[in-house]
Amino acid sequence: MIDDPVISRTDRTRRAILEAAYTLFISQGYAATSMRQVAERAGLALGSIYNHFASKEDIFSSVLIDRHPYHQILPHLTEARGNTMDEFVRDAASRLVDELEKRPEFLNLMLIELVEFKGKHAPLLFEKIFPDIQILIGRMAVFQDDLRPIPLPMMIRAFIGMFFSYFLTGLLLKDLMPPAMQENSLETFVNIFLNGIKQPSQAENELSTHSSTPETL
Amino acid sequence: MIDDPVISRTDRTRRAILEAAYTLFISQGYAATSMRQVAERAGLALGSIYNHFASKEDIFSSVLIDRHPYHQILPHLTEARGNTMDEFVRDAASRLVDELEKRPEFLNLMLIELVEFKGKHAPLLFEKIFPDIQILIGRMAVFQDDLRPIPLPMMIRAFIGMFFSYFLTGLLLKDLMPPAMQENSLETFVNIFLNGIKQPSQAENELSTHSSTPETL
DNA sequence: CCTACCGATCGGTAGG
DNA sequence: CCTACCGATCGGTAGG
C-alpha cells in the first residue's frame, strides 16, 4: 500500500462524516439534520455514508462518544494547578469556563442526547470519562485537610454542576439579567463554592469582606 | 350565546392543541414532532390547526411561554418558609427538587429552546418570570444579616443553578455513579451552598462535623 | 463510492 | 372545522 497505513482512506472518510455530522447536529439538533446535509458537507454522495455507518443514529452515537464535552473539559480540569485550595479551585473554575466559552456549541451535544435520546447513550459515555474523574479526585485529595468532610466525588459533582450552570444561565440570559445578577459573577460563584467546601478556620482569609452589609436588591 | 363565555370553544381547541404539542415536544423534541401528530392528539384535522396558529414555530413559542419550567418552579420557591436562613434554604431546595422530580419532563422544554432555537425566545420568557424573581429576592432579604455580602440576585442564580444541575447530573447518571457520588447528595449540596453564603459566625452551627477527616476517594 | 430510485412523511394551503 | 391536495424532503437501499 502506498497510503499512510495509520490513517487509511476509509478512516479519513469516516472522520469527514463525523466532523460534518458534529457541526450540523450542534447547530440544528439531531432530527433537524438530514443525511443529505451530512453527505454534502462531508463531500460524498448520500449512499456512500452507509458504507461507513449503519444508520443516522449510529452516526450520532459515534459523534457523542468522541466529541462529548466532558471528554474535552475533564482533561483541562485535571491539569489545573495551585499550591493552595483557593488557587486550585480558581484555576480549575477559570479553565472550565474558558473552555465552555471557547466552544459553547459542544454543550449542545449533551443537550441533544438528553432531549432527543433521553440519555440512552449515557452508560457508554460514563465508562469513557470515569478515568478522568478518578484523576481529578486524586488531585483534590491533596487538599483534604483544608476541606470540610464532604465525599470528594460529591464535591466534584457540585463543582462541575455549579459552573456548568453558571455558564448556561449566562448564555441564556446574558442580555436580560439585571446588572447585579452578572457583575463579577464568576468570582462570586467561586467564592460561594470555596466557602462552601473549606474548613471554617481557613475560610476567612481574603474571602469575606467582613463588616459591610449586603447590597440591597 | 349558550356556551360559557369565559372558556369559548375556540379557547378550548387552542388549549387542546397546546396540550398535545407540549406532550409531544417534551417527549420527542421539536423537529421530530409533526403537525399531524399534534392534530391527531388534539382531536382535529391537520388543516384546522392553522385556524389557531400561524405555524409550527408559533405553537412552540406559545407552549414555551405558558409551560416553561421557571414558571412552575419559581412560584414554589416564593412559597418557601423558614424562621432561619438554614430552614428557608432547606425548604426551598426540597421544594425545587421535589418539583423537578415530579415533572422531569418539563426541563426538556428549556433544553429544546436552547438546542433547536438557540435561545431566541429567551427575552420573551425573561419578561414573564422577572416578577417572581423579584418576590424571591424580597423574601431572601429578611436574612441579610446572616449572609455574606453577596448581591441577592447572584445568590438566587447560584441557588437555582446548583440545584438544577444537582437534578440534571442525577438524572443523567443515576445508575452509573459510584455510591459516594450520590449518598445523601441533596443534603451535601444544601450544606455546600449554605456554608457558601452564610456569615462565618453562624456557619458552624450543626453544619460542620468538625474533627473527622474527609472520606477518601 | 455513485446514480437513481423506493415509499413515507413533512409543513402548509385551497376551497368549501 | 374538514378533505384533499401541493411540492419538497426524509432515511435508506439496489445495483453496479
pLDDT at B174: 67
Is any atom of nucleic acid chain D found less than 7 Å from the CB of residue A36? Answer: yes
Is any atom of nucleic acid chain D found less than 7 Å from the CB of residue A41? Answer: no
Average confidence score pLDDT of chain A: 82
Q: Which of A85-89, A187-191, B159-163 has the least mean pLDDT? A: B159-163
Distance (Å, whole) CA A101 – CA A75 = 16
Residues A168-195, mean pLDDT to the nearest whole number: 78
Q: Which of A106-110, A205-209, B31-35, B177-181 has the least mean pLDDT? A: A205-209
Of chain A, the percentage scoring pLDDT greater than 90 comes to: 35
pLDDT at B103: 81
Residues A148-175, mean pLDDT to the nearest whole number: 81
pLDDT at A136: 83
Distance (Å, whole) CA A187 – CA A181 = 12
Of chain A, the percentage scoring pLDDT greater than 70 comes to: 84
The tens digit of pLDDT for each residue in A55-64 reads 999 999 999 8
Of chain B, the percentage scoring pLDDT greater than 70 comes to: 84
Residues A204-212, mean pLDDT to the nearest whole number: 43
Nucleotide closest to residue A46 (CA–C1'): C2
Query: Which 65-124 residues of chain A touch chain B by CB within 8 A?
Result: 108, 111-112, 114-116, 119, 122-123
Residue B50 pLDDT level (bands cut at 50, 70, 90):
very high
Nucleotide closest to residue A32 (CA–C1'): D10
Of chain B, the percentage scoring pLDDT greater than 90 comes to: 35
Query: Which 118-157 residues of chain A touch chain B by CB within 8 A?
Result: 119, 122-123, 126, 137, 141, 144-145, 147-155, 157
Which domains does chain A carry? 5-63 (1.10.10.60), 70-198 (1.10.357.10)
Residues A134-145, mean pLDDT to the nearest whole number: 86
pLDDT at A213: 39
Note the strand C nucleotides within 7 A of protein beta carbons: 1-5, 9-15
pLDDT at B38: 97
The tens digit of pLDDT for each residue in A36-56 reads 999 999 999 999 999 999 999
pLDDT at B180: 67
Is any atom of nucleic acid chain D found less than 7 Å from the CB of residue A44? Answer: no
Is any atom of nucleic acid chain C found less than 7 Å from the CB of residue B50? Answer: yes
Whole-Å CA distances, A140 to A83, B77, B81, B97: 11, 34, 36, 28
Residues B179-200, mean pLDDT to the nearest whole number: 85
Nucleotide closest to residue A49 (CA–C1'): C1
Q: Which of A83-92, A149-158, B40-49 has the least mean pLDDT? A: A149-158
Residues B175-203, mean pLDDT to the nearest whole number: 79
pLDDT at B135: 85
User: Which DSSP string corresponds to chain B?
Assistant: --S-SSS-HHHHHHHHHHHHHHHHHHHH-STT--HHHHHHHHTS-HHHHTTT-SSHHHHHHHHHHHH-HHHHHHHHHHT---SSHHHHHHHHHHHHHHHHHH-GGGHHHHHHHHHHHTTTTHHHHHHHHHHHHHHHHHHHHTTGGGB-S--HHHHHHHHHHHHHHHHHHHHHHTTTS-GGGTTTHHHHHHHHHHHHHB-HHHHTTTT---SSPPPP-
Chain B residues with beta carbon closer than 8 angstroms to that of A186: none
Q: Is the pLDDT of residue B175 over 80?
A: no
Chain B residues with beta carbon closer than 8 angstroms to that of A177: 126, 153, 157
Residue A211 pLDDT level (bands cut at 50, 70, 90):
very low
pTM of the predicted protein model:
0.78
| A65 or A1, which is more confident | A65
The tens digit of pLDDT for each residue in B67-112 reads 887 777 888 888 899 999 899 999 999 998 888 888 877 778 888 8
Q: Is the pLDDT of residue B3 over 60?
A: no
Chain A residues with beta carbon closer than 8 angstroms to that of B158: 162, 166, 188-189, 192
Residue A137 pLDDT level (bands cut at 50, 70, 90):
confident
Distance (Å, whole) CA B73 – CA B81 = 15
pLDDT at B18: 96
Note the strand D nucleotides within 7 A of protein beta carbons: 1-5, 9-15
